[in-house]
Amino acid sequence: MIQIRLFATLKDIAGTDRIELETDRPLPVREVFDQLVQRYPGLARYSTVVQKAVNEEYTDWEREVVSGDEVAFFPPVSGG
Amino acid sequence: MIQIRLFATLKDIAGTDRIELETDRPLPVREVFDQLVQRYPGLARYSTVVQKAVNEEYTDWEREVVSGDEVAFFPPVSGG
Amino acid sequence: MVALVTEEIRPRELIQQIKVPEAGALVTFDGIVRNHARGRRVRYLEYEAYGSMAEREMEKIRTEALSRWPLTGLLIVHRVGRLEIGESSVFIAVSAAHRGDAFDACRYTIDTLKQTVPIWKKEHYDDGEVWIEGYGA
Amino acid sequence: MVALVTEEIRPRELIQQIKVPEAGALVTFDGIVRNHARGRRVRYLEYEAYGSMAEREMEKIRTEALSRWPLTGLLIVHRVGRLEIGESSVFIAVSAAHRGDAFDACRYTIDTLKQTVPIWKKEHYDDGEVWIEGYGA
């Protein structure tokens, strides 16, 4: 099981902040996001700006994740 | 009467922080300091770095002062 | 020390930690909730964080600043939840023997925080609310 | 507001004055008495001021900073008399809508103060004392 977390606008679009994804093979982060877009088409407009993190570290689209990993997607940050 | 004020090291050298100087004509600040050096020779070593103010405004050696003016001499500042 | 908090930030208690005898300069930064933004009147803000990652990223900034400049202390506190106009959303304090290092490190810290720490703010207006998105948007 | 004081500086009370609803950033600087200087252990400091001129010069710096940057407030407080290690000799606070202006104005203020405001410090060591003289010496 891959744990997916969404924040801010992405959470609002999906209507949830946590999603679980079954997988029996390593998935690139790009593919995880594509599966999310299929379920929540409104997320598509974030595909160029979305920030990605695996296990609380920023990462890129090519990074592969496996069961037990936590993958987070969020808009560019605006704290401070 | 010209009121002279000294601060920090200059005050210590002269042993006083206020001196009055009689004058019946406008004196350049340079001449005021020269008269002080005659009275307190230890001040001579400050003649190149001493800061000058007339009536609480920085000024230069050529500025002329008259009776009623306050002239201050002090080392480069070190506040903050 | 870095922290995410939900209560009011109390700066003067915090800075006692970094006002060590070797410190000659203390520079602080408060981010304050303004009453206007993007031409609209703001009623209040809400901050959301990816909490555990936000603390990791703040700690990275702190470690990097401590390695780049000779500092005697650096702390970062970010508040989350609802904040009213005039309240501090973030507080950074840096102490150093010399002021140039404290200024440079404080500015580096807030500039980097705004680019890397996963926290988002939502502006609430009289007639709606908007999630603000950062530089990449 | 600018002031020379002889008692402990209480920064958080002061900054309420400049934490106005239009302010989005607050930058402060504390100059702190260090326990060492010029390779010697310092026991305490004494600050002497040409009081009335010092306040005029501080006011000039404040006016100049307010004209150079879009600020919402700026205050300068300098303490005189005897100060112990860890105490603040000077406190500057600047608020502005945007942080870059607050940082730049705060740094300008302390840098200029150290060059123009007629205040001198005397360092007291275990075995003596020395008047410190500034850049021109």
Give the model confidence (pLDDT) of C84-94 as tens digits: 999 999 999 99
Interatomic CA distance for residues D43 and D34, integer angstroms? 9
Taking the model in full, what pTM does it have?
0.95
Instruction: Return the half-sphere exposure (C-beta side, CA atoms, 13 A cut-off) of residue D44.
Output: 8
Q: Do D32 and C11 touch (CB under 8 A)?
A: no
Query: Which of the pair, D13 or D28, is modelled with greater confidence?
Result: D28
Query: B65 is written with which tokens?
Result: 């002062």
Query: B3 is written with which tokens?
Result: 């009121």
Residues A67-71 have a mean pLDDT of: 97
- Give the number of B-D residue pairs with CB atoms closer than 8 Å: 84
Q: Do B80 and D131 touch (CB under 8 A)?
A: no
At residue D83, the pLDDT reads 98
Test the B interface: residue of D53, D59, D123 with most B CBs within 10 Å: D53
At residue D12, the pLDDT reads 78
At residue D136, the pLDDT reads 46
Give the model confidence (pLDDT) of B15-61 as tens digits: 999 999 999 999 999 999 999 999 999 999 999 999 999 999 999 99
Query: C52 is written with which tokens?
Result: 């555990």
Give the model confidence (pLDDT) of C2-16 as tens digits: 999 999 998 878 899
Q: Are A78 and C133 in contact (CB under 8 A)?
A: yes
Q: What's chain C's average pLDDT?
A: 95
Helix (H) or strand (E) holding C62: helix C51-68
Q: Are B2 and B54 in contact (CB under 8 A)?
A: no
**Domains observed in chain C:** 2-6+20-131 (3.90.1170.40)
Residues C106-119 have a mean pLDDT of: 98
Give the model confidence (pLDDT) of A30-48 as tens digits: 999 999 999 999 999 999 9
Interatomic CA distance for residues C89 and D95, integer angstroms? 15
Considering only CB atoms, which chain C residues are within 8 Å of A53?
50, 53, 118
DSSP string, D74-137: EEEEEE-EEEETT-EEEEEEEEESSHHHHHHHHHHHHHHHHHHS-EEEEEEETTEEEE---TT-
Q: Calculate the alpha carbon distances from C41 to B3, C125, C135, D22 in Å.
A: 57, 6, 22, 11
Q: Calculate the alpha carbon distances from D107 to C101, C103, D70, D94 in Å.
A: 12, 8, 15, 10
Interatomic CA distance for residues C116 and A45, integer angstroms? 21
Q: Residue C27 carries which side chain, given as an amino acid letter?
A: V
Q: Are C93 and C14 in contact (CB under 8 A)?
A: yes
Interatomic CA distance for residues C120 and C132, integer angstroms? 7
Pairing of the two strands A18-21 and A2-6 = antiparallel
pLDDT at C137 over 80: no
Q: Are C72 and C27 in contact (CB under 8 A)?
A: no
Q: What percent of chain A has pLDDT over 70?
A: 100
B72 — contact with chain D (CB < 8 Å)?
A: yes
Q: What percent of chain C has pLDDT over 70?
A: 99
At residue D38, the pLDDT reads 85
Considering CB atoms only, which of A8, A9, A49 is closest to C136?
A: A49
> Is the torsion defined by CA of B65, B70, B74, B80 positive or negative?
negative
pLDDT at A63 over 50: yes
Instruction: Give strand ranges (E) for chain A.
Output: 2-6, 18-21, 27-28, 51-54, 57-58, 64-65, 70-74
Considering only CB atoms, which chain D residues are within 8 Å of C25?
29-32
Please state, as a whole number, how many other Cβ atoms lie within 10 Å of the Cβ of residue C6: 9
Give the model confidence (pLDDT) of C41-80 as tens digits: 999 999 999 999 999 999 999 999 999 999 999 999 999 9
pLDDT at D137 over 50: no
How many angstroms away from the CA of D75 is the closest CA of chain B?
A: 14
Q: Do C50 and A74 touch (CB under 8 A)?
A: yes
Treating both helix axes as pointing N-terminal to C-terminal, what angle do D99-116 and C99-116 enclose, rounded to 10 degrees?
A: 180
Q: Do D137 and B76 touch (CB under 8 A)?
A: yes
pLDDT at A66 over 70: yes
How many angstroms away from the CA of C77 is the closest CA of chain A?
A: 10
Range among C8-17, C110-119, D29-38 with highest mean pLDDT value: C110-119
